[in-house]
Structure 1
Amino acid sequence: MDLDIEGNAALVTASSSGLGQASAKALAREGANVVVNGRSDESVEEGVAAVEEVATGDVVGVKADLTEKADIENLVQTTVDEFGGLDHLVTSAGGPPSGPFLDTTDEDWYDAYDLLVMSVVRTVREATEHLQAGDGGTIVNITSRSVKEAIPSLVLSNSVRMSVIGLEKTLSTELAPEVRANAVLPGPHETSRIQDLIEQGVERGEYDSYEHGLEERGKGNPLGRIGDPMELGDTVAFLSSPKSGYINGTAVPIDGGAGSSNL
């Protein structure tokens, strides 16, 4: 399917690796010009190289700390300067530390809110004028399935990420019809973090091999496996395209059907 986004300008935050990188790849493969973002020069360089392998448009790397307002301002402005505008914004960020409620401090809560919520608030604020100026701007927020079902020992993610969904739903009405806003709620995908955890499990003797660990992590999922990051990336690209033109204000679980929530 041609998503009709060739030549569009897209900014994907936290896209030097993981699900953000998969989203950047999917957009770039469709011909969009993409800005890849990471927190270090090395991560940005590696992220750009990975996206360029599949890109049919231009790829530019920009280093930015998503907890720094000035960095976010520069990130958006650089995108506009490089590509002459901004059509698609995809927000992503690393997860906060795990742990039970009684082990979290005030600082943990403020740090999680700054990383997961204020990074989105500031990026959207900077991007809105440019998204509205184009022909069909989009915002896709990558959050987590934890906004629908609390995950044990992830109290920060369970609690704080829900603010992004409230923001996304509000933006879907306040910025419409010029800009559509949606979210994706990923379950486990075979990102570098999952790969590291499985490899550690192999070293501890919990799994016979990497393939065994991958199989074990997929048990209990109706599809019998965890996700390929590109499956999420392709969904993000679709939600960023005119092909999804009547989808607005929704949050799409991408978890193989593992969730138990009816809504």
Structure 2
Amino acid sequence: MDLEIDGNAALVAASSSGLGKATATALAREGANVVVNGRDEEQLEAAAEDIRAVAEGEVVAQPADLTVPEDVSALVQRTVDEFGGLDHLVTNAGGPPSKPFKETTDEEWYDAYDLLVMSVVRLVRESVDHLEAGDGGSIVHSTSHSVKEAIDGLVLSNSVRMSVIGLEKTLSRELAPDVRVNAVMPGAHKTDRMEYLIQNAVDQGEFEDYDEGYESWTDEIPTGDLGSPEEFGNTIAFLLSERASFINGEAVMIDGGDARSNL
């Protein structure tokens, strides 16, 4: 299916690894011009090179810390300067620490809110005028399966990420019809973040080894394995495109059927 986003300008936050990188890759492969972002400049440039190898559009690397307002402003402005506008925004951020409630400090709560919620607020605030100026912009917020179903040991993600879904639903009505806004809630995928969570559980004595930890995740997924980052990126690319023009204000689970919630 041709998504008809060739030549469009896209910004994908936190895209130097994991699902963010997979998303940027999917957009670039479809011909979009993409700005990728991360804090580690060496890792970011390596990711940009990987994406350029398969890209049909241009790929620009812009380092930024999403918790620093000036960095966010510069990130959006670089996109507009490079490509003459902004058509698609993907908000994304790394996950907060894996800790139980009793061991989580006030500072960690505030840090998680700044990373997961205020980064989204700032990205949208800086981008919205540019998105509205085009022929029809779109936003996808990448959150987590933990929004729908709490994950043991992830009290910060379980609690804080829900704010992004409330914002997404509000924006989908405030910004329509010029800008569509949706969210995705990824479950377990084959990423470095998932390797960290599994190894952390092993280190805490929950599993004897990594293989046992891996199986504990896949055993509950009806499709039988962790998700493919490439397929995840393709889903976001579709949601951003005009092929999904009647999808607005939705929060889409991408978890292989893992969640047991009816809603």
Query: Shorter-chain-normalised TM-score: which range?
Result: over 0.9
2-structure distance, mates of 1:183, 1:17: 19
Q: Which residue pairs with 1:189 in the alignment?
A: 189
Q: Secondary structure at the match of 1:26?
A: helix
Inter-partner Cα distance in structure 2 for 1:45 and 1:237: 22
Q: 1:150 to 1:213 in 2, by over 3 A?
A: closer
Partner deviation per Cα, 1:231-261 (whole Å, 9 max, x = no partner): 1111100000000000000000000001011
Matched residue, 1:98: 98
Q: Show structure 1 runs of 5+ residues with no match.
A: none
Structure 1 residue 195 displacement after superposition: 4.0
Bigger shift: residues 29-38 or 146-155: 146-155
Q: Give the Cα separation in 2 of the matches to 1:22 and 1:159.
A: 26
Return the letter of the residue paired with 1:142: S
Stretch deviating more after TM superposition (150-159 or 242-251): 150-159
Equivalent in the alignment of 2:222: 222
Aligned mates of 1:194, 1:40 — CA distance in 2: 20
Shift in CA distance, 259/104, structure 1 to aligned 2, threshold 3 Å: same
1:251-262 → structure 2 map (5 Å cutoff): 251-262=251-262
1:48-197 counterparts in 2 under 5 A? 48-195=48-195
Q: Please tell me the residue identity of whatever aligns with 1:160.
A: V
Letter in 2 for 1:238: F
- Report if the CA contact (8 A) 2:98-2:197 is conserved: no
For 1:193, the aligned partner's letter is R
Structure 1 distance, partners of 2:196, 2:236, is 25
Query: After superposition, where does 1:5-84 map in structure 2 within 5 Å?
Result: 5-84=5-84
Q: In the TM superposition, what is the alpha-carbon distance from 1:49 to its structure 2 partner?
A: 1.1
Root-mean-square deviation (CA, aligned residues, Å) is 1.9
- TM-score, length of structure 2 as denominator length: 0.94
> Percent identity, aligned pairs only?
65
Q: Over residues 115-167 of structure 1, what are the superposed CA-to-partner deviations in whole Å (9 max), with x where a residue is unaligned? A: 00000000000000000011110000000011111111111101100000000
TM-score norm. by structure 1 comes to 0.94
Q: Specify the code of the residue in structure 1 equivalent to 2:69.
A: K
> How far does residue 217 in structure 1 lie from its aligned partner after superposition?
3.5
- Give the residue type in structure 1 aligned to 2:21: Q
